[in-house]
Structure 1
Amino acid sequence: MSRFKKSIFPNNRFLSLLSGQGVSYFGDSIASVALPILILTVTGSGFLMGLVGALEVAPLFIVGLPAGVWVDRRNLAVE
């Protein structure tokens, strides 16, 4: 029972992973806002800004949805 009360924060590998994921998430958030605004500033076209915004989420629908269905239907039972 005492082995479960240990904190994971002294683990350097975990802290490296946590900080790397945090920086990556922050960068993705900035890029998802800045890229369409940059396109609007450079081209002056709201259509292109919307197109870039739509193309940012297109891989999620093209790859993510079929991959999710494929993983759900696999038999991952370990015998």
Structure 2
Amino acid sequence: MAGLRASYPREALEGRRVLVVSNLAPRSLRGIPSQGMLLAADVEGRAVLLSPPAGAVPGTRRDGSHPGDRIIRFDEFAA
């Protein structure tokens, strides 16, 4: 779904801790509801997921995310 299929088999993603961009307005991508995006980097043409710091508690807000932040549209994010 997130363009990760070529880099990660499903089994490699199950239970994995990831970073999620969650201030996006909900939208349907390829017919599937989406309310956020996994944060990844392009390394030599391959998608590489970014991981939270060791010891980070699931749900921890990182780097400037605050309750009440403006939700942006997908086209704003993609621009």
**TM-score, shorter chain, exceeding 0.5:** no
Greater fraction of residues in helix:
1
Normalization by structure 1: what TM-score?
Answer: 0.19
Normalization by structure 2: what TM-score?
Answer: 0.19
Q: Which has the larger radius of gyration?
A: 1
